[in-house]
Amino acid sequence: MSDTRDKGRPDPGALLKLAAGEGRGKLTIFLGAAPGVGKTYAMLSRAQQRRAAGADIVVGLAETHGRGETARLLDGLEVLPRRKGEHSGKTYDEFDLDAALRRRPAIIIVDELAHSNDAGARHPKRYQDIAELIDNGIDVWTALNVQHLESQADLVARIAGVPVRETVPDVVLQRADDVVLVDLPPAELIQRLKEGKVYLPESATRAAEKFFRPENLTALRELALRRTANRVDDQMADIWRQQALEGPWVTGERLLVCVGPDQLSEKVVRTASRMALGLNARWIVVALSRSADPILDADRSARLEATLVLAEQLGGEVRRVIADDFVAEIVRIARRENITQVVIGRPHASFPMRIFKRSLPDRLIGVLDGVGVHLVSESAGAASKKLRFRRRSLPEWVASLGIPAATAGAITVLGLGLSQVVVLQNLSILYLLAVLVSAILAGRFAALLAAGLSFLAYNFFFIEPVRTFTIAKPHEVLALLIFVAVAVVTGTLAARLREQIERARQAVRSTQALYDFSRKLSAAYGVDGALTATTAQINAMLGLPAVALATEEGGELEMRVAWPPDQTLDETAMTAARWAHDKREPAGYMTGTLPNVPYLFVPIRSDQRMAGVAGMRLAPSHGPLSPDEERQVSAVLEQAVIAIDRARLVRESARTAVAQEGEKLQAALLSSLSHDLRTPLASITGAVTTLRQLGERMDANTRMDLLVTVEEETGRLTRFVGNLFDMTRIESGLLKPRREPVDLPALVGGVAERMARLEPRLRIEASTADSMPPALADAGLLEQVLFNIFDNARKYAGTEQPLSVYIRRDGGEAVISVTDQGRGIPAEELEVIFEKFHRRAKGDGRPAGTGLGLSIARGFVAAMGGTIKAESPAMRKRGTRFVIRLPLAEEKGS
């Protein structure tokens, strides 16, 4: 069913690959078998044709090597100036990447793809310069000889006898949009060499003797033709997938490559790469290790990492696998991945090893049915140079030799002492203790050495005849051999247990460090807090100075945190940090971008976005980070990016909430303005228009009524604007009340008179407790508070019933209670009524006002150091009481 549904449908992976190329430049590689076949000539000839057709094409760098016919093709083409570079004390003309980016042509020619840049360049290799041009949307034409491909370097060295020093990862050729083969038969190429059209005469003689021989050129030509054919086949397969055409690409070979920390693995990877290219096959590189294996030393670990990096450069998919049974794991992967061929190294083994132990390749051949097994053997020279033991430091040698000698000697002294007191039948058991102690303290080698020393000491001191290595009784020989076997087995098991314990300790330390770091991150506040915890953790783990950089609100990348804090970044280091941020890949120290910068910059990134960049300062003596250090840094950065994303989400959530609240207030303000400005303005406009049009024709009473209306509505507008101004002062923090004694009864009386002018029908009944001292307040603000409360009562409680005001003392506070006899306020609205723009009435029947009066009252009271609250019902299930509490003036000094 699925086959029918998918038939005729383009391959999603092919479409994604096609979409990924949109917006990027195109790479065209002119591929040749050897120098002198005419790659640069072919590029410049095509450039002249494109220029004549009106294309925007420039020459960033073209090496003519003194060939006149090639140099003449530069006439009429725009050639960018070169920058001066220095290498080994000599000055060279180098390609100027920055000039090319500033010019931004449609097409640029950059010759010699495999060239290594000078120390002052941004990238160590020219193919990395070209990759940056392509990322910026510029089409690039370049030239490459087949011997400079990474997978062909060792093969070409064997064919031609000349080492290849400058190489290009095979993925560069695989990702090229077009490959143009520039071919020339070997005989014609040798003739061109003799005519001086390839090298200068003195160089041509040496080249003809060593490199330009018919057999070498024929082999190189075959390699170039094969690689071009493979590339064309890949392009055809892409077209089939994109257009949903049926073809033979549906099935194919799959290779599984097994590698380890040995020296043979690099050869295995290169051989597998050539096989995969020849078969047009996908290949998976698996690094196998056992959980009980000893921890790799620095050299073996670095060798394994270099092998895996090489595999990635050559286009392989890299995986790390931990399994106790290598054969079973390889079979499982082969069946799951539909592997058709396995490539594995077969090192030279000693004669006893070949007799007593089957090698991993031999066991694979016996269990892999239907899968081809390819064995890559090492050369005899490499086998003779192979290290049998890992290099140990001086303290390790002292421990490995001293502990077995000391323990065996101590057991011997102890045995001699005990034998003077009692007769010991099984003294050999004591020597097992020496083996176990040596295994636990110093490892496998020390355990084997302790077993040998114990064998000699036991034989010399305790087996008749003593003080000789002669054994008189046959059964003693058997006992001694059994002792040696038990000692070796016991020591090996104890040493393995020690290694497993050390691995467990390392795992516990790493887990504990990550746990402590996660706790620090959980307590960190904001992005800077998370970055500070991250740099401190990296410094504590690796002992390296660390920095963290991030952007703020879409701005420039800047250094936010440093640990220790006394670090600064120069412009070159900032350039490397920006590269790591923009390209989402490591930059700086010993990387492909600005490798001379002392900082290694690693992006802090999640799947969705970049969170920042972490930098570590490495001294030249430190070298690159070890695999274990890289894993630790990766684990820390993975934790850090979660904390940074969380901090940013919290900040964005807060901003969203503020924005929503602002929109809510804005809507309420607009609603208030539309109602509370329109009504008085309409009244004023109507009154003024009537007065202007009718004038003297109206009687005096009518004119007076209209003027009173204008006066009242103008006062209403004045109060409205005043309320807005007061609320602005409260929210901006500009409100600074005066704290002075205020006579509350007199102030309440003044507010009542003011309200009487606004609403003569409202009766205000005020009373004061005996011996009422003055309150500590701002008279102007308190007057406005009481007026707003009286006005609120007038609007909602009406004027039929009087408004009661009672002033009393409660401890060290003055209390003003204002009680109306209206309908009251529901309990759920007793706090809401103090919010801005809140009104109880809805629709067209709402009372006039802004909904700011009570909010202003609460703000003024709080500014004076008091409190205000509403209580409802106030009396007989009706009414509302506002209670204001202020400090008393006499309590000021207490």
**Domain CATH number, residue 311:** 3.40.50.620
Question: pLDDT tens for residues 403-420?
Answer: 878 887 887 888 777 777
Q: Which of 83-92, 387-396, 883-892 has the lowest mean pLDDT?
A: 387-396
Asked whether residue 623 is assigned to any structural domain, the reply reads yes
How many Cβ atoms from other residues are within 10 Å of residue 664's Cβ? 12
Q: For residue 509, is it within any domain?
A: no
Residue 300: the pLDDT is 78
Lowest mean pLDDT among 22-31, 115-124, 490-499, 577-586: 490-499
Rounded CA gap, 535 and 527, in Å? 12
CA distance 788 to 722: 12
Are 551 and 591 found together in one domain?
A: yes
CA geometry: angle at 176 spanning 171 and 177, to 5°?
Answer: 150
pLDDT of res. 735:
66
Burial of 295: CB neighbours in 10 Å, binned 0-12, 13-18, 19+: exposed
pLDDT band at 384 (very low <50, low <70, confident <90, very high): very low
Helix/strand/coil for 805? strand
Classify residue 305: in a domain, yes or no.
Answer: yes
User: pLDDT higher for 595 or 713?
Assistant: 595
Burial class (CB in 10 A: 0-12, 13-18, 19+), 525: exposed
**Same-domain pairing of 740 and 863:** yes
34 with 147, same domain: the answer is: yes
pLDDT at 676 over 60: no
Q: Which of 181-185, 779-783, 828-832, 854-858 has the highest mean pLDDT?
A: 181-185
Q: Do 405 and 377 share a structural domain?
A: no
Helix (H, G, I), strand (E, B) or coil at 252: coil
Q: Are 118 and 86 in contact (CB under 8 A)?
A: yes
The pLDDT of 26-50, averaged and rounded, is 91
pLDDT of residue 258: 92
pLDDT at 354 > cutoff 60: no
Examine the pLDDT at 90 and tell me if it is beyond 80.
no
- State whether 154 and 272 are in the same domain: no
Residue among 500, 501, 510 nearest 291 (CA): 500
219 and 357 co-located in one domain = no
CB 885 within 8 A of CB 813: yes
From residue 480, alpha-carbon distances to 463, 470, 471 in Å are 9, 12, 10
Among 288-302, 616-630, 768-782, name the most confident range. Answer: 768-782
| DSSP 8-state assignment for residue 888 | B
Confidence of residue 439 (pLDDT cuts 50, 70, 90): confident
First to last CA, the chain: 90
CB atoms < 10 A from the CB of 384, how many?
A: 9
In a domain, 230, yes or no: yes
**pLDDT tens, residue by residue, 331-348:** 888 888 778 899 998 876
Domain count, the chain: 5
Angle at 676 between CA 674 and CA 679, to 5 degrees: 90
Q: Tell me, yes or no, whether 410 and 365 share the same domain.
A: no
pLDDT at 243 over 60: no
Locate all alpha helices (DSSP H) within 9-125, ordered by sequence.
12-20, 39-52, 68-71, 97-103
In a domain, 2, yes or no: no
Specify whether 796 is located in the same domain as 875.
Answer: yes
The rounded distance, in Å, linking the Cα atoms of 484 and 466 is 19
| Measured distance CA(790)–CA(762) in Å, rounded | 9
Q: How far apart are CA 356 and CA 215, in angstroms?
A: 45
> What are φ and ψ of residue 580, in 5° steps?
-60, -35
Say yes or no to pLDDT of 97 above 70.
yes
Last residue of a domain, one of 195, 215, 242: 242
Q: Which helix (H) or strand (E) holds 350?
A: none
Going 373 to 378 to 380 to 385, the CA torsion angle's sign is negative
* pLDDT > 80? residue 659: no
Question: Is residue 566 predicted with pLDDT exceeding 60?
Answer: yes
pLDDT at 557 over 80: yes
Contact (CB, 8 A) for 224 and 181: yes
CA of residue 223 relative to chain centroid, distance = 40
Q: Which of 653, 679, 703 is the last residue of a domain?
A: 653
3-state DSSP percent of the chain in helix, strand and coil, to 5: 55, 15, 30
- 678 pLDDT band (50/70/90 cuts)? low
Q: Can you list the positions of beta strands (E) in 430-554?
A: 546-550
Residue 794 confidence class, pLDDT cut points 50, 70, 90: confident
Average pLDDT over residues 279-297: 77
Range of the domain at 70: 12-242
> What pLDDT was estimated at residue 396?
65
Sign of the Cα pseudo-torsion (644, 645, 646, 650, in order): positive
Which of 475-489, 601-615, 649-663 is predicted least confidently?
475-489
Give the whole-angstrom CA distance, residue 603 versus residue 634.
10
Does residue 724 sit within a domain? no
For the segment 792-814, the average pLDDT, to the nearest whole number, is 88
Do residue 535 and residue 404 come from a single domain?
Answer: no
> What's the mean pLDDT in 499-503?
71
Same domain membership, residue 273 and residue 188: no
CB 740 within 8 A of CB 779: yes
Q: What is the pLDDT of residue 7?
A: 45
pLDDT of residue 72 exceeding 70: yes
**Sheet containing 139-145, strands listed edge to edge, beginning at the edge strand earlier in sequence:** 78-79, 57-61, 107-110, 139-145, 27-32, 178-182
Instruction: Look up residue 164 and give its amino acid.
Output: V
The mean predicted confidence, pLDDT, of the chain is 78
Can you give the pLDDT at residue 343?
A: 92
Condensed to tens digits (0 to 9), the pLDDT of residues 736-749 reads 778 899 999 999 99
Same domain, 161 and 256: no
| Residue 60 token pair | 């960033």
Mean pLDDT of 800-809: 90
The answer to the question of residue 566 being in a domain is: yes
Query: Looking at the structure, do residues 763 and 629 belong to the same domain, yes or no?
Result: no
* Cβ within 8 Å of residue 476, ≥6 positions away: 463, 464
282 belongs to a structural domain:
yes
Spell out the residues 6+ positions from residue 659 whose beta carbon is closer than 8 angstroms to its own: none
Percent of the chain whose predicted confidence (pLDDT) is above 90: 15
The whole-number average pLDDT for the span 295-310 is: 77
The enclosing domain of 621 has a CATH number of 3.30.450.40
CATH label of the domain that carries residue 800: 3.30.565.10
Residue at which a domain ends, from 339, 360, 385: 385
Q: Which of 572, 607, 604 is nearest to 588 (CA)?
A: 572
Give residue 64's pLDDT.
84
In terms of Cβ atoms closer than 10 Å to its own Cβ (0-12, 13-18, 19+), residue 395 is: exposed
Token reading at 279: 């078969």
